[in-house]
Amino acid sequence: SPTTNPLDLFDLDDQVGEEEHAIQRTVRELMDAQVRPHLAQWYDEAKLPARDLALELGKVGLLGMHLEGYGCAGTSATAYGLACLELEAADAGIRSLVSVQGSLAMFAIWKHGSEEQKQEWLPRMAAGEAIGCFGLTEPDAGSDPASMRTRAKQDGTDWVLNGSKMWITNGSIADVAVVWAQTEEGIRGFVVPTDSDGFSAPEIKRKLSLRASVTSELVLDDVRLPADAVLPDVTGLRGPLSCLTEARFGIIFGSLGSARDCLETALRYAGERDLFGRKLASFQLTQAKLADMTVELGKAMLLALHLGRLKDAGRITSTQVSIGKLNNVREAIAIARECRTILGAAGITLEHPVLRHANNLESVLTYEGTSEVHQLVIGQALTGESAFR
């Protein structure tokens, strides 16, 4: 009998614990019940009911789920990865909402914040009552964040921030922004309430990718903050990069959700579509495509699970995260595009999820370190030579 989930062929169930399975199932059911039925409309209209969604996601403990304390669930890294997979099987925009909230904004405060900052923000963010964003990229500083121009100057005991950030997920809907800026001592992070005078976050419109996600510019025009707004425990690029490694880990699994959903759709479609008097699924070329995609998806899943176990053992390196992000996003986008061919013309509308996923993956390929940057990271580990500049 035909398979509905191509990953079943790999018999990976033993690789995942009971609790991790339960979390994965819960997320899948939540997506099926509350998100999937609305996605085509949200994507079409580029409108996401992010506040309501955040509350729902908070209720089931998905926000900052891999962090300990402050109202966070403290699950394994693998469980977090599997949750990201199911979120992205719905849409990468939903996974981005959760990644940015948990792995970028909350993680920055959790890892580098003061006790007061943690108490003030983390429990509300875990509950989805407060939304966070993470401002590192600027119009002229993406892959090279060290060249950022946003500056924080000390004025008496206050800090005054000036500059702008670009492509910031959750920006316009955030209650709090973690903003990275140049200071006399190097790059530092600031916890910026978004109702501060001089802060604004215009939304970026007309996106063709991640339309079910809010992406914004952040404008900081003489934003005055008290002395205790700075993240006390970190100086230099190490701060933001530590957060990005967290979020990238989620993408290693998340991207496979996009790919699996495309492959399931293509399998179903090929089984139903009649051509030349037989099923599309019965042609050799179609089966070769389905087989190759299944092999890549399974290999990528094995890599993700391996990296999950390394992270749970506290041993994962940032180079290994780069290997996972590079491979899994690259294979996911190839799978999404190939699945689109199996659907023919039917693949180009929002009636089916495949082109939506493929378009989303264009962003996923670029954010959290572009594929090229991850190639350079791996190249440097292999050769000892930095080819960045």
C-beta closer to ligand FAD: residue 127 or 141: 141
Q: Quote the CA–CA distance of 73 and 68 in Å, as a whole number.
A: 7
**388 touches ligand FAD (CB under 6 A):** yes
Tokens of 341: 């061919």
Q: Is 215 in the site for ligand FAD (CB under 6 A)?
A: yes
Determine which one of 86, 88, 264, 368 is catalytic: 368
| Ordered DSSP codes for 325-342 | HHHHHHHHHHHHHHHHHH
Instruction: Compute the distance between CA of residue 346 and CA of residue 355 in angstroms, rounded to an integer.
Output: 10
Asked if residue 347 binds ligand FAD (CB under 6 A), the reply is: no
Q: Is 167 in the site for ligand FAD (CB under 6 A)?
A: yes
Contact segment (CB under 6 A) with ligand FAD among 22-30, 53-61, 314-322, 360-368 equals 360-368
CB 30, min distance to ligand FAD, A: 23
| Neighbour tally for 9: CB within 10 Å | 13
Element at 215 (helix H, strand E): strand 215-225
Q: Which of 192, 335, 373, 377 binds ligand FAD (CB under 6 A)?
A: 373
* Least separation in angstroms between CB 49 and ligand FAD: 18
Q: How far is the CB of 336 from ligand FAD (least distance, A)?
A: 16
**How many CB atoms lie under 10 A from the CB of residue 292?**
13
**Of 5-13, 165-173, 263-271, 323-331, which segment contacts ligand FAD by CB under 6 A?**
165-173
CA–CA distance, 270 with 279 (Å, rounded to integer): 7
136 binds ligand FAD (CB under 6 A): yes
Contact 165, 137 (CB under 8 A): yes
Total residues at interface with ligand FAD (CB under 6 A): 19
Nearest-approach distance from CB 90 to ligand FAD, in angstroms: 17
* Number of other residues whose CB lies within 10 A of the CB of residue 206: 6
Establish if 272 lies at the interface with ligand FAD (CB under 6 A).
no
Q: What is the dihedral of CA 289, 295, 301, 302, to 10 degrees?
A: -170
Does the active-site annotation cover 368? yes
Helix, strand or coil, per DSSP, at residue 156: coil
List, by residue number, the catalytic residues: 368
Q: Which residues bind ligand FAD (CB under 6 A)?
A: 100, 134-137, 142-143, 167-169, 210, 215, 363, 366-367, 370, 372-373, 388
